[in-house]
Amino acid sequence: MRREHSIAPDYFEALYKDKGDPWDFETSAYEAAKYAETLAALPQPRFANALEVGCANGVLTAQLGSRCDALLSVDVSPTALASARARCADQPNVTIEQRRLPGDAPQGIFDLVMLSEVVYYWDSVDIVRLAGYLRGAVASGGYVMLVHWIGETDYPKSGDEAVAELHAALDDRVTVVRSDRHEAYRLDLWRLEGAG
């Protein structure tokens, strides 16, 4: 049964405290292939200032950090963040903070925002709030990358619903650069136009 409201931080903290790596980001061949595809889909070799929302234990963060002059990665789980900080300890360009978006969104203008496996955890109200934040936080001509599992969920949204709702909320700003469907996930890259 679907949850009606955005998933609270304690859900994620309980998973990380109980299982350490609840989605097997560190060991899964599926996750490794998905991360490789995500990084290969980035439209340029390097970004000046990027934001990763939902960095979990930092497996993708460490790889993305090598493509950014500055990367701010955020998550809600203190346990996951401790793992991410340890994994990225040798990357001084990577900053890791505890934040819950959209309410506790960071200041700054970003030329890339990575939303990998996160938007379907939000309800429609928070997706609209996230769109409002992105309108001001993504540089004109900057990119938003979305990667979402497309199977059934008990989250507020499916992967397809989450992407469609965020696109609708940003519609006048979005140029779709690519929208690829893989066996188990979708990858969407948008360029945002206008003031940011």
Q: What CATH number corresponds to the domain at position 106?
A: 3.40.50.150
In a domain, 70, yes or no: yes
In a domain, 86, yes or no: yes
Tokens of 163: 């992407």
pLDDT tier, 34 (very low <50, low <70, confident <90, very high otherwise): very high
Contacts of 118 (CB under 8 A, 6+ apart): 53, 54
Place of tokens 């939000």: 122
Q: What is the mean pLDDT of the chain?
A: 93
Contact (Cβ atoms closer than 8 angstroms) between residue 192 and residue 143: yes
Provide the domain count of the chain: 1
Contact (Cβ atoms closer than 8 angstroms) between residue 72 and residue 106: yes
pLDDT tier, 22 (very low <50, low <70, confident <90, very high otherwise): low
Residue 73: its pLDDT value, please? Answer: 98
| 42-62 mean pLDDT | 96
Domain of residue 122 covers 9-192
Contact (Cβ atoms closer than 8 angstroms) between residue 188 and residue 176: yes
pLDDT of residue 20 exceeding 80, the answer is no
Residue 13: its pLDDT value, please? Answer: 87
